[in-house]
Amino acid sequence: MRITIKTKNISLDDPLKVFVEDKIGGLEKFIKDPNDLIEVRVEIGKPSRHHRSGFVYYAEANMKVGRKLLRADVKHPDLRTAIVEVKDELQRQIKKFKSKRGP
């Protein structure tokens, strides 16, 4: 699995990078077929620098599994919670995709 992380209006430090890679990288176990090329592009950050309250952070992920594109987008007051919710949404979509595709 190849994970590309992009940030907007925040800095990507090592603990945050490891957190994203652990959460999103954990989705690989749900895709059993070794022939599937998995590429994930994750974008995290703030929509603008002037927001101070409300849904300040967002996390967005585009996952390519073979030719299929799975996408999740979450806005939340906490960045790490937004990342976890994106992972949960992608996990739900993977399970739905696998059930349609068959065993």
Q: Which helix (H) or strand (E) holds 4?
A: strand 2-8
pLDDT of residue 30: 86
pLDDT at 100: 76
Spell out the domains of the chain, with CATH numbers in brackets: 2-101 (3.30.160.100)
CA pair distance 47, 98, nearest whole angstrom = 33
Nearest to 75 by CA among 58, 52, 61, 92: 58
pLDDT, averaged in runs of 10, over the chain (103 residues):
94 96 92 79 88 82 91 95 97 87 63
The per-residue pLDDT for 34 is 67
| pLDDT score recorded for residue 103 | 57
Amino acid letter, residue 103 = P
